Chains A and B, each alone.
Chain A
Amino acid sequence: MLKTLSLLAMAVLSTAAFAQQKSAADGIAEYRAMLADGNPAELFEARGEDLWKKKRGPKNASLEQCDLGKGPGVVKGAFVELPRWFADTSKVQDLESRLLTCMETLQGLDAKAIAATPFGKGEQVGMEGLTAWISAESKGMRFNLPQSHTQEKVTYELGKRTFFYRAGPYDFSCASCHAQAGKRIRLQDLPELTKNPGDGVGFAAWPAYRVSSGEMWSMQRRLNDCYRQQRFPYPGYASDVTVALGVYMGVNAKGAQSVAPALKR
């Protein structure tokens, strides 16, 4: 079913975007309207909810006691306050690094091995579902990351410096593409991430189901591919750089309404 939907969407989008009669954004809007009664992301959400409740791992436990920042087991509203500082790990963590912690402490799974697993394979398939479902539980809510802990403030500053860090063979930084309003690469619109770019844009639009590839991409995967196109080396899954960028973008997006899991070309 996903494949059929992807092909259908590709047809709609290629007509819209590549024939250049409409902008890519118009094509997406049209496709969203067509799928009003069935975003493919819902399949990932259902899978994620099942996985959250399923007993597994060496400790044969579910993730239902996982603390995503609002207390053990509280999922609603957690997504729009991440990344944040966690006392038990003494770390600022984003959704995915926090899930790794819970999988290790509650279920006895090997967080390092999961972090080293390529996207779309093995345990990372489970991550796609978990992030889709957890983000969906905060759909329509507004981003409001805490910045009261010293470590959260320091991480914001580190994220800002990471955002402007130019290097690599092309001399690119995140800011090369995402520091101005109304710009695009080829026909692709680029969100301005140095401030709140608006509801459901940029940080407030991931995880997202990517119609072109039929895949669910988490924020970690989104950042990973940004760095690939930035011509950088490979950022580790849930590495400090990715969490710091999450804090920078998330705090900047304060007040933006989350539409995750979104639908993307």
Chain B
Amino acid sequence: MYRFKSLLSVAALLSMAGCALLQPGPNYAELVKQMMDGSFRKEGIANTDRLIQDQANAACSEAQGANPPDAVVEAIQQAALKSVRMPSDGKFTGDWREGEKLAQNGRGMTWTDKTALPKDNGGNCLNCHQVTKEELSYGTLGPSLYHYGKDRGVLDPESPEARPIVEYTWTKIYNAKAYNACSGMPRFGHAGLLDEQQMKHLMALLLDPKSPVNR
């Protein structure tokens, strides 16, 4: 939305008034909110309610790349941990072949995508992670996941011995903020980006000894 009465001039006036009265500077939090509301519009499936921040996004934005205060970090992680729902049938892994397709698929949730349904979303894994040895077109924003299960000694992901690392991995995919308040990774389960079956396929990709991740 193009507007001639700009917020930016309001910002300057407030800031000058602030100096004159020897008060603290502009209320940036409020100015940013007004600027966001005035600058974006709905397009396709991307509604303006996407601009609303939950506690985690607000705190991590405010920290500008650093960590929020310890108590805030703890609260974010606890809330994230509570949000995680383990698989309804108690089985954690699906088909690694399907998982690999999802890992390759970087689509979903943009204003040019038709729906916001999990079936139309990819896992976006390769945008940020190395996943297999063969696929060289991978991003480097996240750590390499090559040999993820192998390095953690997972021989059978459905066995009791593997349970701790399996639950950790499920939690990480479901809501990465459970272990890292300002993690850069989307919250695939919590945000409804992928359904349970799709997350199981990604689990298989990471943990199945037959998956190319572990070969």
A residues with a Cβ closer than 8 A to B are 18, 20, 89-92, 97, 100, 111-112, 115-116, 149-151, 153-155, 157-158, 160-162, 164-173, 175-177, 179-180, 182-187, 190, 194, 228-229, 231-244
Contact = CB atoms under 8 A, between A and B. Distances in A.
Contacts, number: 179
A165 B59 CA distance: 10
A177 B106 CA distance: 15
Nearest to A19: B136
Contact of A234 (B43, B138, B140, B192): B43
B184 A239 contact: no
A186 B137 contact: yes
27 contacts: A18-B137, A90-B6, A91-B8, A100-B2, A111-B2, A116-B2, A151-B8, A151-B15, A158-B8, A158-B35, A164-B63, A165-B61, A168-B109, A169-B116, A169-B191, A170-B109, A171-B56, A184-B140, A185-B141, A190-B141, A228-B111, A231-B110, A232-B50, A234-B46, A239-B38, A241-B39, A244-B8
Interface stretch (B24-32, B145-153, B207-215): B24-32
A165 B35 CA distance: 12
Contacts of B42: 233-234
A228 B65 contact: no
A233 B12 contact: no
A253 to B, nearest CB: 18
A161 B65 contact: no
Nearest to A188: B139
Contacts of B50: 167-169, 231-233
B193 A157 contact: no
Q: Dominant SS at the A interface?
A: mixed
Interface residues of B, number: 60
A236 B109 contact: no
B126 interface: yes
B9 interface: yes
Contacts of A241: 35-36, 39-40
A229 B57 contact: no
